[in-house]
Chain A
Amino acid sequence: MIRMPINERPNWQEQADEFGFKFHTLYGEKYWNESAYYQFSLEQIEKDIEDPTEEIHQMCLEVVEHVTQSEELLEQFCIPEHAWDVVRNSFKNGDPSLYSRLDFSYNGKGPAKLLENNADTPTSIYETGFWQWLWLEDNVNSGALPRTADQFNSLQEKLVNRFHDLQFLTPDRTLHFSCCKDTEEDRGTVQYLQDCADFAKLDTDFVFVEDIGLSDKNTFSDVNDHEITWLFKLYPWEFMFDEEYGQHLNSSKVRFLEPPWKSIISNKALLPMLWQLFENHPNLLPAYFQKDMSKLVSDKGIVKKPIFSREGANISISKNATELAASHGPYGEEGYVYQQLHTLPKFNNSYTLIGSWLVNDEAAGLSIREDNSLITQDSSQFLPHIIL
């Protein structure tokens, strides 16, 4: 695993316009960065990323199994009581999932360590599945990279195939895609997924989360009063449970992507549960709920994470009671979990985080984020990678 500088493609901004990639620059800062790339060996990808990714997903499913069978655990995961049936039934009925992203700390040697599982609303999928794929295609065609260069990235292909399977599992329904208003990144992400569903010939539509309506029959509707029977939502389950329509989730008979049981593994309480069930697994870091946090070795550093958090918000890192880094944000009222610190590797003065994608239960690709802080946040940059 090395970081290599490379010339940017001269016309990439124009190309981004042409392909509708609008959020490559955010608030005047570069988000997509193709002035460098990461290079992996095939063995690093297959042995250190791909295999553990699929194994951890299976371990996460075991956690779901445990949590759905225990009211005490559902409480510990801060899932409100009125949503327990929705969560339990979705798992019992085998409601299918679409995708997840596991975040790892990995430096090319030794086991990758799981930091968290973005199992409910993962983003940066367009950049991963298509845009870095195109970057490699262009650079190979121009001779800047050798023909033998590959990439761990079958994401788009697997998404299209998965949508095809999902239609078979969910016949005769229109799949509505949704996200919140005024978020260009989310809108772009959802459009990409809708395009993939269209390639699989699904019947699709779009509705903003805020525009979803409730009918007199307790079903949800879009702005044209069409009933929503199947909904992809780039919107956290923990918000939906707590909001006004959260009480109608059971009666609405909607199939969701991601399904409600994903709220268990997108939850940071997953981390202590994984450690409890699979203690000393090479890809896991010790993690505990508050009551057992004294078991963590304080001079190795401790990371405090809110049970619900997105984009690295409200995380703090301390060593021997001294705070090393902290991020702000609106989360944390539900409580925290504590994880042993495993500092992100540093390449070229930036901290590097590996995102490893799953489509259903299959490892499907890799994305790289760089941040100048120990805590990777939404300000971090996205860099492409190759396998050589």
Chain B
Amino acid sequence: MKRSSNINIFRMKKSRSTFLLRPLYLGVVASLAACGSNTQEAKVIKNPEQCVEETTLTIQECEVAYKKALEESERVAPKYSNQRECEAEFGYRNCGQQTSSGFFMPLMTGFLLSELLNSGRRHYNPVYTYRGSRSNYRDRIMTSNGSILSRNGRGTFHVSKDTLTKKAPTVKKTISRGGFGSKASAKSSWGGGGSSRGWGG
């Protein structure tokens, strides 16, 4: 066969994604951050049932979210070559073996859920409970890159906005914009504003 054998048609549909644009509370309880501060208060969601209670998502959406977070965890969780090393950091019986790679990784405690403004795209950031016996961080919640969520009582945490959205680093200061794209606008105004379908070919 010379053609793709498995395309998931359901995932190719775009109209189903409109519900994602509905305003959502998600895991973010409230933004208590003062002006200029880069942290937000967030809740760790432990399972689909808690997700239904804490957010405006339906049970089906919460199940998808939970599944996505588990997938993300498979990808980003700290990996150890043996169970002992993993359990030393994350506790007895708190590690599992990844079938695809053979590595050991901590079981997900829960996940932070957020949505990028205006994009309709959700982010799932899995978190783990640290159990290192001699560490000050024992029993604290941490993300896959080792960021410790500061405690704030009753299951809410102050986290940096980055932790809620994604792993890309933030630049200190953007000094200008628009340094790309000028040729396109010059070329498309050629011939008295002739329409351009784009810059592909």
Measured between beta carbons, the chain B residues less than 8 angstroms from A45 are 2
B200 engages A217 (CB within 8 Å) = no
Which residues in chain A, 179-235, are within 8 Å of chain B measured between CB atoms?
179-181, 183-186, 189, 195, 199, 201, 203, 205-206, 208-217, 219, 221, 224-229, 234-235
B9 at the interface (CB under 8 A from A): yes
Interface size bracket, B side: 35 or more
**Do B174 and A214 touch (CB < 8 A)?**
yes
Tell yes or no: B154 within 8 A of A by CB: no
Are B197 and A221 closer than 8 Å at their CB atoms?
no
Contact status A227-B184, CB under 8 Å: no
| A18:B15 contact, CB within 8 angstroms | yes
Would you call A215 and B174 a contact (CB within 8 A)? yes
- Say whether B176 contacts A213, CB under 8 Å: yes
A151 touches B174 (CB 8 A): no
What chain B residues lie within 8 Å of A311 (beta carbons)?
197, 200-201
- Residue of B1, B116, B168, B184 with highest tally of chain A CB at under 10 A: B168
User: Does residue B36 face the partner (Cβ distance < 8 Å to A)?
Assistant: no
Closest CB in chain B relative to A149 CB, distance in Å:
10
B180 at the interface (CB under 8 A from A): yes
A45–B2 Cα distance when bound, in Å, is 10
The distance in angstroms between the C-alpha atoms of A157 and B5, with both chains bound, is 8
Contact check, B184 vs A387: say whether CB atoms are below 8 A apart.
no
- B193 CB–A CB distance under 8 Å: no
Q: Is the CB of A179 within 8 A of B183?
A: no
B167 neighbours in A (Cβ, 8 Å): 172, 174, 203
The one of A19, A212, A329 that contacts B180, using a Cβ cutoff of 8 Å: A212
Tell me whether A155 is interfacial, beta carbon within 8 Å.
yes
Interface members, chain A 111-156 (any B CB < 8 Å): 118, 120-124, 129-130, 133-134, 136, 150-156
The verdict on A123 contacting B12 (CB below 8 Å), with A130-B7, A214-B179, A227-B169 known, is no
Give the distance to chain B from A168, nearest Cβ to Cβ, in Å: 12
What separation, in Å, do the CA atoms of A123 and B11 have in the docked complex? Answer: 21
Shortest distance from the beta carbon of B48 to any chain A beta carbon, whole Å: 21
**CB proximity to B under 8 Å, residues A15-59:** 17-20, 23, 26-27, 42, 45
Smallest CB separation, A257 vs chain B (Å):
13
Say whether, besides A180-B181, A180-B199, A328 and B172 are in contact (CB < 8 Å): no
Q: Which residues of B, 170-198, contact A by the 8 Å Cβ criterion?
A: 170-184, 186-187, 190-191, 195-198
Q: Are A18 and B166 in contact (CB under 8 A)?
A: no
B195–chain A nearest beta-carbon distance, Å: 7
Give the interface size class of chain A: 35 or more
Binary contact readout B77-107 vs A (1 if CB under 8 angstroms, 0 otherwise): 0000000000000000000000000000000
Q: Which partner residue on chain A sits nearest B181 by CB separation?
A: A210
The interface residues of chain B lying within 8 Å CB-to-CB of A19 are: 12-15
Nearest Cβ in chain B — how far from A379, in angstroms? 9
Contact of A330 among B15, B119, B170, B187 (CB under 8 A): B187
Per DSSP, chain B at the interface is loop
Q: Give the complex CA separation of A133 and B200 in angstroms.
A: 22
Q: What residues on B are CB-neighbors of A225 within 8 Å?
A: 170-171, 174
Q: Which residues of B contact A180 (CB under 8 A)?
A: 181, 184, 198-199
Q: Given A199-B11, A226-B169, are A234 and B200 also a contact pair (CB < 8 Å)? A: yes
Q: Out of B2, B12, B72, name the residue touching A154 (CB < 8 Å).
A: B2
- B6 within 8 A of partner (CB): yes
**Does A72 sit at the interface, judged by CB under 8 A?**
no
> Does B4 have its Cβ within 8 Å of any Cβ on chain A?
yes
Q: Is B75 an interface residue (CB 8 A)?
A: yes
CB distance from A44 to the nearest CB of B (A): 12
Given the known inter-chain contacts A156-B7, A387-B2, please indicate yes or no for A221 contacting B15, CB distance below 8 A. no
Contact A201 B71 (CB under 8 A): yes
Jot down 13 A-B pairs with beta carbons below 8 A, ordered by A: A120-B201, A122-B200, A123-B198, A153-B4, A205-B119, A205-B166, A209-B181, A210-B177, A212-B181, A213-B171, A228-B168, A234-B198, A310-B200
**Given contacts A118-B201, A153-B3, A183-B197, could you give 8 more A-B pairs where the C-beta distance is less than 8 Å?**
A180-B199, A211-B178, A214-B177, A215-B171, A226-B170, A243-B180, A330-B190, A331-B187
Interface residues of B (CB under 8 A from A): 1-9, 11-15, 71-72, 75, 116, 119, 121, 165-184, 186-187, 190-191, 195-201
Q: Kindly list the 10 A-B residue pairs having the minimum CB-CB distance in the complex, ordered from nearest.
A: A20-B14, A123-B200, A245-B179, A186-B198, A183-B198, A210-B181, A239-B183, A215-B171, A213-B174, A244-B179
Q: State the A residues within 8 Å of B (CB).
A: 17-20, 23, 26-27, 42, 45, 118, 120-124, 129-130, 133-134, 136, 150-157, 172-174, 179-181, 183-186, 189, 195, 199, 201, 203, 205-206, 208-217, 219, 221, 224-229, 234-236, 239-240, 242-245, 248, 310-311, 328-331, 365, 378, 387
